[in-house]
């Protein structure tokens, strides 16, 4: 009987030792896992961006931003942000990767700002420096109010446009030049055509009731006057005090 009891106690001790061994092994495994998690977040190098924009740079068309993401530690891109700014961009669509350009807009420059990011739970640093890229957008014919046949001095034209309300004004030289290229078949400045009259009803000299090919801009010429744009070839010149046409723009 005593011998059997000793054997039972010995078996119990062995069972207890076995349980303790299992417990110690489990704790060691947990420590190893925790250590592995901690050591996986070794500080490395920040992600980088080299953004670009593709799409058609015309009012009403869609632009698509690309981050040009890279990471020297081969971390995976996660959460990169895109921010568009410039003429006509609203808060509603300023933070998407794509941007639909406003239909009625003057010539302007759109800027895309990209901030490259990786997974903050497993990489350090997870945010890189923001980078920007720009694209020029030509003026939309829809932003212009159809001109009448009146010939104006610059002061009278400026007053007339402002009086139309809604932010109407004389266009910049860039807006007039770009709308000539976007609204006619001309592909560069200096290519002659009468399409601003034929297709859009703008007065030109001897066409559509017009008395001049020249249109006022609000861009100072540095000589006390303002530049004018020749709307049958897209060129520009200096004129002081003459009576010419005006096309108001309401961006």
Residue 83 lies in a domain: yes
Question: Hey, what are 31's tokens?
Answer: 């420590």
Residue 65 lies in a domain: yes
Claim to verify: residue 153 and residue 217 sit in the same structural domain: yes
Claim to verify: residue 168 and residue 229 sit in the same structural domain: yes
pLDDT value at residue 239: 76
**What is the C-alpha separation between 98 and 112, in angstroms, rounded?**
10
Claim to verify: residue 117 and residue 158 sit in the same structural domain: no
Residue 195 lies in a domain: yes
The domain boundary, picked from 137, 157, 183, lies at: 137
Claim to verify: residue 125 and residue 159 sit in the same structural domain: no
pLDDT value at residue 42: 63
Question: Hey, what are 108's tokens?
Answer: 């302007």
**What is the C-alpha separation between 91 and 71, in angstroms, rounded?**
30
Q: How many domains does the chain have?
A: 2
Residue 29 lies in a domain: no
Identify the domain containing residue 159 by its residue range: 142-239
pTM, two decimals, is 0.58
The domain boundary, picked from 71, 104, 137, lies at: 137
At 30-82, the pLDDT tens digits run 445 444 444 455 689 999 999 999 998 877 789 999 999 999 999 999 999 99
Asked if 196 and 205 touch (Cβ cutoff 8 Å), the reply is no
At 109-160, the pLDDT tens digits run 889 999 999 999 999 999 999 999 998 777 778 789 999 999 999 999 999 9
Residue 6 lies in a domain: no
Claim to verify: residue 72 and residue 125 sit in the same structural domain: yes
């Amino acid at each position: 009987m005593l011998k059997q009891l000793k054997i039972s106690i010995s078996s119990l001790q062995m069972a207890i030792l076995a349980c303790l061994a299992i417990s110690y092994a489990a704790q060691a495994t947990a420590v190893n896992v925790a250590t592995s998690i901690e050591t996986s977040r070794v500080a490395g190098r920040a992600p980088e961006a080299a953004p670009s924009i593709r799409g058609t740079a015309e009012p009403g068309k869609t632009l698509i931003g690309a981050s040009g993401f890279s990471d020297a530690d081969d971390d995976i891109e996660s959460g990169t942000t895109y921010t568009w700014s410039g003429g006509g961009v609203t808060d509603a669509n300023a933070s998407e990767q794509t941007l639909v350009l406003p239909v009625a807009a003057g010539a302007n420059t759109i800027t895309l700002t990209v901030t490259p990011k990786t997974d903050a739970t497993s990489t350090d640093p997870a945010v890189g420096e923001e980078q920007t890229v720009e694209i020029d957008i030509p003026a939309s014919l829809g932003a212009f109010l159809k001109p009448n046949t009146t010939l104006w001095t610059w002061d009278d034209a400026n007053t007339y446009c402002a009086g139309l309300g809604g932010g109407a004004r004389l266009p910049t030289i860039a807006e007039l030049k770009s709308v000539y290229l976007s609204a006619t078949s001309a592909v560069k400045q200096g290519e002659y055509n009468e399409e601003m009259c034929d297709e859009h009803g703008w007065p030109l000299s001897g066409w559509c009731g017009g008395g001049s090919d020249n249109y006022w801009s609000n861009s100072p010429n540095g000589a006390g006057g303002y530049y004018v744009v020749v709307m049958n070839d897209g060129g520009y010149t200096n004129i002081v005090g003459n009576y010419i046409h005006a096309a108001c723009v309401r961006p």
